[in-house]
């Protein structure tokens, strides 16, 4: 049977002397080719790979340094903001106190101005009332005089009869004659 396998092996290139290992020549030539390829990669590609790894390391280190700087800046900004918040509370209290003072001053000034305006309006109203009273009493006197002048002849005519007229004339004559 060994002869049969050997005969088949010499005719069939897929059959080897061992089921796990390839032929010796393949091991030698494959090993030499692998050493040459790996050597060429180490010699030519190695520096560029090493350079890219160093560049990547530098980039990551720069990002870490930038992050650390940003963290320090953020902590400083946060500290400044917290300090400013305390100042804001004080500033707010000061501004509210100023606003209260100004509001009190405006109220006081407004009350004084309104009091003065009310007094001025009352004085003007009083003067207007007095002027209206004077005008109305003058108008009333004129109206009474007009009505009296219209009514007097009618009243005199109605109340005087002939006998009263004669007595008045006699009385006037005697007073004029006595006055001489």
For residue 158, the tally of other CB atoms under 10 A from its CB is: 8
pTM exceeds 0.85 for this model: no
Closest residue by Cα to residue 67 from 59, 78, 57, 79: 59
Mind listing the pLDDT tens digit for each residue in 99-111?
999 999 999 999 9
| Longest Cα–Cα distance in the chain | 207
* Rounded mean pLDDT, 26-54: 92
In angstroms, rounded to a whole number, what is the distance separating the alpha carbons of residues 40 and 35?
8
The pLDDT value recorded for residue 11 is 64
Q: What pLDDT digit, counting tens, does each position of 128-175 carry?
A: 888 888 888 888 888 888 888 887 877 777 777 777 778 878 888 888
Cα 135 to its chain centre, rounded Å, is 59
Q: By the 8 A CB rule, do 112 and 120 touch?
A: no
Domain boundaries, the chain: 15-150
Side-chain-facing half-sphere of 131: CA atoms under 13 Å: 6
C-alpha 40/C-alpha 71 separation (Å) is: 45
């Amino acid at each position: 049977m060994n002869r049969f396998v050997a005969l088949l092996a010499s005719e069939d290139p897929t059959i080897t002397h061992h089921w796990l290992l390839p032929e010796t020549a393949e091991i030698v030539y494959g090993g030499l080719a692998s050493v040459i390829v790996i050597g060429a990669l180490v010699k030519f590609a190695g520096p560029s790979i090493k350079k890219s790894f160093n560049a990547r390391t530098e980039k990551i280190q720069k990002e870490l340094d930038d992050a650390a700087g940003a963290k320090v800046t953020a902590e400083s900004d946060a500290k400044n903001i917290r300090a400013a918040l305390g100042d804001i509370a004080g500033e707010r209290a000061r501004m509210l106190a100023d606003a209260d003072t100004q509001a009190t001053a405006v109220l006081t000034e407004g009350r004084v101005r309104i009091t003065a305006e009310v007094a001025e309006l009352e004085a003007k109203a009083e003067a207007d009332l007095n002027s209206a009273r004077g005008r109305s009493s003058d108008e009333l006197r004129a109206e009474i005089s007009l009505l009296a002048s219209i009514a007097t002849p009618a009243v005199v005519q109605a109340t005087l009869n002939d006998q009263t007229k004669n007595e008045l004339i006699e009385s006037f004559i005697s007073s004029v004659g006595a006055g001489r």
